[in-house]
Amino acid sequence: MGIWDRLRHELIDIIEFLDDSNDTLVHRFERFQNEIKNGAQLTVRPGQVAVLINEGQIADVYEPGMHRLETSNMPILSTLKGWKYGFNSPFKVEVLFVNTTQITDQKWGTKNAVPLSDPRFGMFEIRAFGTYSIKVNDAPRFIKEIVGTDGNFTAEEITGQLRSLVVTRCTDAIAETELPVEKYASNLNEISQDVHGRMSLDFDKYGLELSTFLVENISMPEEIKKEIFELSRLDSKVDLDKLAKLKTAKAIEKAAENEGMAGGGMGMGMGFAMANQMGQQFSQQQQSDGASSAGTPPPPPPALLFHVVINGEQQGPYDMNAIKSMISNQQISKNTLVWRNGMESWSEAGTVSELSGAFGSVPPPLPPQ
């Protein structure tokens, strides 16, 4: 650097930073020996904050606007320097411009397949990917925790660490949702919100705000997808006859297009044979299902069991055949107390509907001789 460049930087009185890339997160304003003229004009544009650092310590932070660097508007730096009644120019301090705009369209994705367990499909692997956006919401903390002494810190330098954090939290969230695997695609928004909530505190530790987080896709093996589709057809009570016809039509079309079977005629013939076989199988299945449902007798009614009081003692339980036999032998009369499950209390046998008919068949007592 020439002497005129050094002199120009020592006397500089306008401090600003312009960047059109939207990728730079922190930029150190470079000048010779970090010297700033007393009364210099600091211009902080929208989407920026300026942080003054003195001998490794963070001092004053300036929001967007134009600032004249004097004792009155540098309270922390003035305290660190011991300036009570003004100070001599120039003074040495670092000025870091921090980008506070949204850093959008940050990609994330699982590098390796993530194993999950499902009670119906067993162990299988999934992959997930999406996007997120961040912004610096605490410039001093971000400089302390992430930037350090880097004079030109870009979003690319932190994305690797953030992606690892995102993938870890997202994997945990998916595993803990306890959603059926077929519900993943219809609940991407809910999963995204769950992961966003889990990671907000992690990003805040770095002075960052996780503005948005999106899970765009959760993919799984093709064989699991096929099983899910078949299961959905059964669960939705789809017309099996129509489903059979649809599969038959597809089988015919596929067989007819098979050019490796001595021409389309042979393929067509095999297609019709397959269609006929599939139709017979589905027809037999439906007939057997209908016959089994129509020919199955209803379950037998529960047996009636009665308790009786004979000679002041409770006896039983007896089924209806035993009760009728005891009535015939005159061990039980119409006045005998009986009880069965469902009755509120003991009742005379002659008043119980199930037993009253049995007394009509009992011959009367023999006349006296």
| First-last CA distance in the chain | 152
The pLDDT of 289-294, averaged and rounded, is 53
**Confidence category of residue 173, pLDDT binned at 50, 70, 90:** confident
Range ranked top by mean pLDDT from 52-56, 100-104, 259-263 = 100-104
pLDDT band at 209 (very low <50, low <70, confident <90, very high): very high
This prediction's pTM: 0.53
Alpha-carbon distance of 246 to 253, in angstroms, equals 11
Q: Taking 80 as the threshold, does the pLDDT of residue 303 lie above it?
A: no
Q: Which residue has the tokens 């993943």?
A: 184
Beta strands in the chain (DSSP E): 14-15, 24-28, 35-36, 41-44, 48-54, 57-62, 65-68, 91-92, 94-99, 103-109, 114-118, 122-136, 152-154, 208-219, 306-310, 313-318, 337-340, 347-348
